C-alpha cells in the first residue's frame, strides 16, 4: 500500500514539474518573441530615421526621384494611371492581333471571304478609343489646372540664367535684397559626400511648407531650370519673365540641371535647392542681410 501511494505521489509530482517547466519555458519563449519584436521595431524606427531620400540622379536610374511637392506627387500618380491604361490597351491589341493571325491563316482559309459592313464592330472600335482618351484626359487636365493655380506667395525668388551659371535674387528682404551667383564646384573643391557635376558653391535656400513663387528669366540664351524632385521644369527666356509656384513638403537637398541646350558648357549648370524649416530659413536670411 505504501509503495503504491509513493508511486502515485511520484507520478503527480512529475506531472506538476513538467507543467511548471512547460509554463516557464513558454514564458521564456514569449519573452524572447517580445524582445525580438522589440528589436525588429527598433531597427525599423532607426532605418526610418536614417532613410535617405533619392533627391539626386542615380546611375542607370529608370524611375522617378522621390517627390517633395504636391505637383510632383500628382505627376507620379498620373504616370502610374496612364501606364495601367497603356498596359490594358497593349494587351487588347496583342490579343486581337494573335486572333487575326490564327483565324485568318492561309492554311485555314484558302478562300477569300467577303465581309459585309459591320456597324456594331465599327461602333466598338470608335467608342473604345474615345473612352480611353477620356480616361487619360480627365486626370491630365485636373493636374494641369492644379499646377497653374495661383496662390498668394510667402516667398518670392527671381532665378536668372547665364552662360553658364545661375543667379538668385530675394527682393523681399532689406532695401537691396539678397542676391548671389551659383556656380558648379570643381572636382578639386568637392567635400566628402558631395556629388560630382551636381554640387554648387552657393545653394538656393527655400523654406518648407510655404507657398513660394519663382520668377525666371535669362540674360543671354534660353536655359531651363529643372529640379525633378520638385516637379519643376521651366524655360528661362531672355526678355521674358516666367512664373512657377512651389510648395515643398519636407526638408532635403534637391538636385537639378539646366535642361535646355545653351552652349558649350551646358552640362556644367547644376541646380541645388536646400529645403529647410522656416526657423532655419529666417536664420539664413539674417546671415545674408
Residue, of 248 and 20, whose pLDDT is higher: 248
Between helices 70-103 and 119-147, what is the axis angle to 10°? Answer: 170
Supply the pLDDT for residue 195: 87
Burial of 165 (0-12, 13-18, 19+ CB in 10 A): buried
Average pLDDT over residues 37-47: 54
Output the nine-digit C-alpha cell for 284.
539664413
Q: Are strands 223-227 and 242-247 parallel, antiparallel or unpaired?
A: unpaired
Supply the pLDDT for residue 120: 83
Supply the pLDDT for residue 288: 85
CATH topology of domain 155-288: Immunoglobulin-like (2.60.40)
| Residue 156 to residue 215: CA distance in whole angstroms | 8
Residue, of 192 and 253, whose pLDDT is higher: 253
Q: Quick check: 37 pLDDT over 80?
A: no
Average pLDDT over residues 38-46: 54
Q: Where are the domains of the chain?
A: 61-105+122-149, 155-288
> Of 20-34, 39-53, 202-216, which has the strongest mean pLDDT?
202-216
| Residue 279 to residue 288: CA distance in whole angstroms | 15
Element (H, E) at 15: helix 2-49
Q: What is the pLDDT of residues 128-166, one digit of tens each?
A: 889 999 989 998 988 888 888 778 889 999 999 999 999
Q: What is the pLDDT of residues 176-233, one digit of tens each?
A: 889 999 999 988 888 888 888 999 999 999 999 999 999 999 999 999 999 999 999 9
Supply the pLDDT for residue 273: 94
Q: Are the C-beta atoms of 250 and 68 separated by less than 8 Å?
A: yes
Q: What is the pLDDT of residues 47-103, one digit of tens each?
A: 444 445 557 777 787 888 889 999 999 999 999 999 999 999 999 999 989 988 888
Supply the pLDDT for residue 41: 55
Residue, of 38 and 96, whose pLDDT is higher: 96
Q: Quick check: 4 pLDDT over 60?
A: no
Q: What is the pTM of this model?
A: 0.71
Cβ neighbour number for residue 270 with a 10 Å cutoff: 22
Supply the pLDDT for residue 43: 57
Q: Are the C-beta atoms of 211 and 244 separated by less than 8 Å?
A: no
Amino acid at each position: 500500500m505504501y509503495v503504491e501511494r509513493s508511486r502515485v505521489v511520484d507520478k503527480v509530482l512529475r506531472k506538476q514539474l513538467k507543467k511548471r517547466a512547460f509554463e516557464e519555458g513558454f514564458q521564456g519563449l514569449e519573452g524572447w518573441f517580445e524582445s525580438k519584436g522589440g528589436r525588429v521595431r527598433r531597427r525599423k524606427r532607426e532605418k526610418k530615421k536614417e532613410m535617405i531620400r533619392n533627391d539626386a540622379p542615380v546611375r542607370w536610374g529608370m524611375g522617378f526621384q522621390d517627390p517633395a511637392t504636391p505637383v510632383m506627387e500628382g505627376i507620379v500618380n498620373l504616370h502610374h494611371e496612364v501606364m495601367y491604361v497603356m498596359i490594358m490597351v497593349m494587351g487588347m491589341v496583342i490579343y486581337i492581333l494573335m486572333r487575326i493571325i490564327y483565324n485568318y491563316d492561309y492554311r485555314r482559309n484558302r478562300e477569300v471571304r467577303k465581309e459585309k459592313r459591320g456597324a456594331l464592330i465599327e461602333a466598338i472600335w470608335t467608342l473604345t478609343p474615345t473612352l480611353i482618351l477620356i480616361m487619360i484626359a480627365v486626370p491630365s487636365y485636373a493636374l494641369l489646372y492644379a499646377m497653374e493655380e495661383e496662390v498668394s506667395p510667402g516667398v518670392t525668388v527671381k532665378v536668372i540664367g547665364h552662360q553658364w551659371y545661375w543667379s538668385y535674387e530675394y527682393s523681399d528682404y532689406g532695401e537691396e535684397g539678397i542676391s548671389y551667383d551659383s556656380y558648379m564646384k570643381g572636382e578639386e573643391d568637392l567635400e566628402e559626400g558631395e556629388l560630382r557635376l551636381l554640387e554648387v558653391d552657393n545653394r538656393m535656400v527655400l523654406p518648407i511648407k510655404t507657398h513660394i513663387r519663382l520668377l525666371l528669366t535669362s540674360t543671354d540664351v534660353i536655359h531651363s531650370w529643372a529640379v525633378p524632385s520638385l516637379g519643376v521644369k521651366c524655360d528661362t527666356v531672355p526678355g521674358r519673365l516666367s512664373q512657377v509656384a512651389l510648395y515643398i513638403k519636407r526638408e532635403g537637398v534637391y538636385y537639378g540641371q539646366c535642361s535646355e541646350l545653351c552652349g558649350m558648357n551646358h552640362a556644367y549648370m547644376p541646380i541645388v535647392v536646400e529645403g529647410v524649416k522656416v526657423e532655419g530659413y529666417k536664420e539664413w536670411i539674417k546671415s545674408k542681410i
